[in-house]
Amino acid sequence: MAELLLMIAITGKWVLFTSVIVFVPTLLALGIYTLRRGEPDDADIVPSMQPLGPHAPTGRSGITIYKGLYKLKRLGSRRTFITMESLVNRTATQEQWLVVVGIQALFTSFWLFFLGVGLMYLPHSNGLSLFFPAVVGLWLFGIVKAQWSDLKRARRKAARSRNQNRR
C-alpha cells in the first residue's frame, strides 16, 4: 500500500508540473492579448483627493495624496463579448476561438494544479488532501454546466433559424 501511495505522489508531482507549464504561458498569452486587443471600460479618469492616514475631528490630517480612477482594459466588453451563438454559427474570429480555448485551458490547468497538490500530499494526509481538488472541481463543474446549457440553447436557436430559412 505504501508503494502505491508513493507512486500516486510521484504522479501528483508530474500533474502539478504539467499544470504549471500550461497555466503560466496561457495566463501570459491571455494577459498580452487583453493588453493589445482589450478595450478600455467606459469610465472616465476622475482625480480625487483623499487623506492618507486617520481622520482628525477637523477633517484634515495625514498626508493628502491624489488618487484617480483609471481606465481598465477588459477582455470582453459590451461591444466585443464572445457569445455562444457566434461560436456555434462559426462567425467568431480565430482570435475569439483562441481566447475561448485559452480560458478553458486555464480552468483545466487550475484544477489540475489542485489535483497535483492533493495527490502529492495523499500519503501524508489520509485522504484529506483530496478535499481541495474536489471543491475546485465542483466549482468548475458549475461553470462547465452553465457553459453547456448555453451551448445547448445556442444550438437549438441555430437549428430553429436554419429550419426557418429552409421553408
**Where do the structural domains in the chain lie, given as residue ranges?**
2-38+75-166
For the entire predicted model, the pTM comes to 0.69
Distance CA 99, CA 108 (A): 14
Distance CA 90, CA 135 (A): 34
Distance CA 136, CA 77 (A): 27
pLDDT value at residue 162:
84
Q: What is the CA 145 to chain-centroid distance, rounded?
A: 15
pLDDT value at residue 66:
46
Distance CA 113, CA 23 (A): 9
Quick: pLDDT tens for 61-95: 555 444 444 455 555 555 567 888 888 888 888 88
